[in-house]
């Protein structure tokens, strides 16, 4: 019997069954390239000598890393990618105004349960929250996909996290995944398909589920899968178009995208989160996780709420609830970046943006922001950032002599008021 | 292959190998100027053609940026040898023509600055003091990809 990963890769490779360890050539359902990794992929595509992409409707290009262009080099990259999209008649092209790729793809209905998605970005695993086998690839592999629509995969074994228990009020999905990564380690799931199941996951919103899938790569995971359910259907039903509407409905009704409990390539890890306290990943590795309560003497220069991990409306609501009527600490900078235009509009409608601005935060246009230290809001030497993003590697948000801590939006908002790492009361 | 070793620790991530602010470039020469900038300033001028990078576990973890192995290639590094590698980096490095050799125990035996010799056919690394370390030999098709300078050159050759 088989795992979700094996079921999806079997379908994508046109086989009845595949098993972990097997190498298969699979047909790709959706391929994503963005403004930063796109140019290298397109250059490689051109070097192969292909003239036309395999299927313009299956390629999605969002601009999100350097938006709007912050240098002439970025502007030239944008021109290069716009030209490629136009020449290849790629309709699903989202220019600088739409938001972060991993938020935009589900929002625009490009993510379906049971599909195989590749992206030239390591956090492509985020779409696993919808039951898609989604994984990050490099530019040369992407060039092959653009050209042929196919790529070889080694079918991964599955590391299944069975998560149960009700989360405390001051914790969230981010604390769950940081806790798991702290235990498993930065390479504990290398090449594995991570799978998140259990009552805690069933109770979670789509937004929270995306947090866990997003960070599967931080323990080496190839993807971060979840079983699609009614919530998946509710999120996607008005977003997918045409034929995909029927595919989605049929898929959810069949509801057979589950790992069989006796699959041979399965390792199960039980996680009880009922006593979980807020967690923080300390510099310079994501698995360097400590309870936030042990870090109350860490003073912060900049708080960043945003990214494909925690820049959704639910995160902004969490933060605004804490910040309402308060001011951020003297000398601290706070940056709030909604993950997408849709998120931004909702935050405007709900009055959240006003709360952030009144508290003293900067609110900027949807983009990746300081997450990867390439665009805006960088930190300098000896500066400390507390960030809701996914990586705290040395130099990740600017200076290699700066430090990055990672937390939930709740901890980030409370800490912005206090000026040091703090737990919401 | 013979060369000097530049030794690094565990979990050398792609932000160390090539910081995010340089991803706007695609040119190998430009990228190589910033290789390992997170840990070593001006790595490129210290490295000679044929030298090796030796790492611990989980080398290349983090982002899918192919700019990272391209930067290493641009420094003339002939192979990266480590206890283990991260998944996406492994594919990317092979695709751009940088051999990755998995040699468990390497970081305890080889020192920074040591001259080593690598025998790709036998799968053996010879240390300066004469110690031998085995690595997992690469299959013939992968050697062909690497000898062609990467997957695209390999495919183009096949098509000729």
CB contact under 8 A, A122 and B88: yes
A210: CB partners within 8 A, 6+ apart: A102, A106, A126, A129, A308, A312
| Contact between A393 and B91 using a beta-carbon 8 Å cutoff | no
Nearest CB among A40, A124, A222 relative to B87 is that of: A222
- What's residue B156's pLDDT? 83
Which of B16, B20, B39 has the most A C-beta neighbours within 10 Å, making it the best mutation to test the interface with A? B20
pLDDT of residue A244: 87
Confidence check: pLDDT of B76 > 90: yes
Residues of A in contact with B16 (CB under 8 A): 393-395
Could you tell me the two tokens for A209? Answer: 């589920």
Residue B11: its chain A contacts at CB < 8 A?
A: 186-187, 285
Q: Residue A1: what pLDDT?
A: 64
Closest chain B C-alpha to A385 CA, distance in angstroms: 16
| Residue A111: closest CA among A96, A92, A90, A97 | A92
pLDDT at A199: 98
- pLDDT digits over A73-105, tens only? 999 999 999 999 999 999 999 999 999 999 999
Please report, for residues A378, A384, A392, A406, B157, the alpha-carbon distance to residue A283 in angstroms, rounded to integers and kept in the order given.
16, 10, 6, 9, 45
Q: Is A212 helix (H, G, I), strand (E, B) or coil?
A: helix
- Tally C-beta pairs within 8 A across A and B: 122
Q: Do A285 and B11 touch (CB under 8 A)?
A: yes
Cβ within 8 Å, pair B152-A36? no
In the three-class reduction of DSSP (H, G, I as helix; E, B as strand; rest coil), residue A296 is classed as coil
Of B9, B31, B63, which to mutate for an interface test with A (greatest number of A Cβ within 10 Å)?
A: B63
For A97-112, the pLDDT digits (tens) are: 999 999 999 999 999 9
Residue ranges for chain A with pLDDT beneath 50: none
Structural tokens at position A227 = 């079983």
Peptide bond preceding B95: is omega within 30 degrees of 0, i.e. cis? no
pLDDT digits (tens, 9 = 90+) for B118-139: 999 999 999 999 999 999 899 8
Distance CA A385, CA A412 (A): 10
Closest of A400, A382, A421 to residue A299, by C-alpha: A421
Buried b (16+ CB within 10 A) or exposed e, B93-111: bbbbbbbbbbbeebbebbe
B158 has a pLDDT exceeding 90: no
Q: Is ipTM strictly over 0.85?
A: yes
Burial class (CB in 10 A: 0-12, 13-18, 19+), A51: exposed
All residues of chain B having their beta carbon less than 8 Å from the beta carbon of residue A373 are 15, 19-21
Contacts of A136 in chain B (CB under 8 A): 63-64, 88
pLDDT of B38 reads: 86
Interchain CB distance below 8 Å, A66 and B15: no
> Are A144 and B151 in contact (CB < 8 Å)?
yes
How far apart CA A236 and CA A232 sit, in angstroms, is: 6
Going by the DSSP 8-state scheme, the letter that residue A6 receives in this structure is H
**Cross-chain CB nearest to A37 (options B19, B64, B84):** B64
Q: Does B90 touch chain A (CB under 8 A)?
A: no
A393 contacts B13? CB cut-off 8 A: yes
Question: Closest to A122 (Cβ–Cβ): which among B39, B64, B95?
Answer: B64
Q: Could you tell me if B19 lies within 8 Å of chain A, comparing CB atoms?
A: yes
Give the phi and the psi of residue A290 in degrees, each rounded to 5: -135, 155
Asked if B88 has any chain A CB less than 8 Å from its own CB, the reply is: yes
Residue of B nearest to A153 (CA): B91
A186 vs B24, B58, B95: nearest CB: B58
Three-state secondary-structure class, residue A149: coil
As a whole number of angstroms, the distance between CA A89 and CA A55 comes to 9
- pLDDT tens string A30-79: 999 999 999 999 999 999 888 999 999 999 999 999 999 999 999 999 99
- Taking CB atoms and an 8 Å limit, are A40 and B88 in contact across chains? no
Q: Which residues pair with B126 in a beta bridge?
A: B117, B132
CB contact under 8 A, B92 and A139: yes
Q: Is B66 helix (H, G, I), strand (E, B) or coil?
A: coil
Nearest CB neighbour to B23, from listed A374, A391, A393 = A374
List the one residue out of A404, A181, A363 whose CA is nearest residue A289.
A181
Q: For chain B, how many residues are written?
A: 160
Minimal Cβ distance to B20: which of A73, A222, A374: A374
Q: CB-CB: which of A73, A124, A400 is closest to B38?
A: A400
In this structure, the number of other CB atoms found within 10 A of the CB of residue A50 comes to 15
pLDDT of residue A391: 97
Alpha carbon of B75: minimum distance to chain A alpha carbons (Å)? 19
Nearest to A395 among B19, B57, B156 (CB): B19
Give the span between the Cα atoms of A202 and A205, in whole angstroms.
8
Q: Is B67 on the interface with A (CB under 8 A)?
A: yes
């Amino acid at each position: 019997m088989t795992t979700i990963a094996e079921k999806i890769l079997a379908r994508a490779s046109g086989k009845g069954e595949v098993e972990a360890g097997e190498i298969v050539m699979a047909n790709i359902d959706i391929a994503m390239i963005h403004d930063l990794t796109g140019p290298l992929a397109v250059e490689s595509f051109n070097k192969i000598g292909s003239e036309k992409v395999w299927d313009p409707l299956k390629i999605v290009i969002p601009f999100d890393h350097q938006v709007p262009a912050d240098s002439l080099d970025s502007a030239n990259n944008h021109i290069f990618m716009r030209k490629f999209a136009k020449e290849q008649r790629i309709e699903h092209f989202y220019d600088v105004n739409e938001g972060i790729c991993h938020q935009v793809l589900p929002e625009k209905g490009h993510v379906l349960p049971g599909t195989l998605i590749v992206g030239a970005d390591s956090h492509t695993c985020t779409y696993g929250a919808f039951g898609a086998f989604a994984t990050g690839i490099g530019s040369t592999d992407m060039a092959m996909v653009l050209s042929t629509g196919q790529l070889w995969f080694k079918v991964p074994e599955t590391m299944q996290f069975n998560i149960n228990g009700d989360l405390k009020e001051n914790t969230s999905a981010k604390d769950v995944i940081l806790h798991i990564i702290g235990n498993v380690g930065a390479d504990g799931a290398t090449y594995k398909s991570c799978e998140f199941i259990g009552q805690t996951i069933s109770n979670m919103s789509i937004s929270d589920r995306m947090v866990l899938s997003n960070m599967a790569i931080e323990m080496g995971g190839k993807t971060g899968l979840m079983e699609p359910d009614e919530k998946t259907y509710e999120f996607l039903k008005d977003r997918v178009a045409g034929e995909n509407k029927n595919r989605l409905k049929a898929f959810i009704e069949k509801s057979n995208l589950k790992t069989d409990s006796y699959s041979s390539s399965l390792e199960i890890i039980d996680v009880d989160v009922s006593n979980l306290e807020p967690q923080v990943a300390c510099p310079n590795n994501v698995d360097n996780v400590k309870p936030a309560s042990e870090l109350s003497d860490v003073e912060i220069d900049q708080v960043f709420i945003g990214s494909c991990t925690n820049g959704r409306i639910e995160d902004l609501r969490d933060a605004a609830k804490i910040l309402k009527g308060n001011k951020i600490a003297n000398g601290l900078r706070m940056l709030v970046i909604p993950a997408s235009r849709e998120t931004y509009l909702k935050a405007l409608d709900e009055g959240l943006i006003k709360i952030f601005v009144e508290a003293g935060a900067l609110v900027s246009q949807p983009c990746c922001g300081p997450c990867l230290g390439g665009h805006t809001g960088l930190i300098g030497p000896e500066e400390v950032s507390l960030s809701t993003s996914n990586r705290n590697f040395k130099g990740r948000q600017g200076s290699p002599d700066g430090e990055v801590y990672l937390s939930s939006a709740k901890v980030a908002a409370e800490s912005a008021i206090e000026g040091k790492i703090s737990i919401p009361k | 292959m013979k060369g000097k070793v530049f030794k690094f620790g565990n979990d050398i991530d792609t932000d160390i190998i090539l910081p995010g602010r340089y991803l706007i470039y695609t040119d190998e020469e430009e990228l190589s100027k910033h290789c390992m900038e997170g840990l070593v300033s001006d790595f490129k001028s210290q490295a000679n053609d044929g030298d090796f990078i030796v790492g611990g576990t989980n080398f290349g973890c983090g982002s899918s940026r192919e700019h990272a192995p391209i930067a290493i290639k641009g420094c003339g590094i002939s192979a990266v040898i480590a206890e283990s590698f991260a998944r996406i980096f492994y594919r990317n490095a092979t695709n751009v023509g940088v051999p990755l050799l998995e040699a468990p125990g390497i970081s305890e035996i080889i020192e920074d600055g040591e001259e080593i010799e690598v025998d790709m056919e036998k799968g053996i690394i010879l240390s300066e003091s004469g110690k031998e370390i085995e690595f997992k030999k690469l299959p013939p098709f992968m050697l062909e990809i690497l000898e062609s300078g990467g997957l695209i050159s390999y495919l183009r050759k096949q098509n000729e």
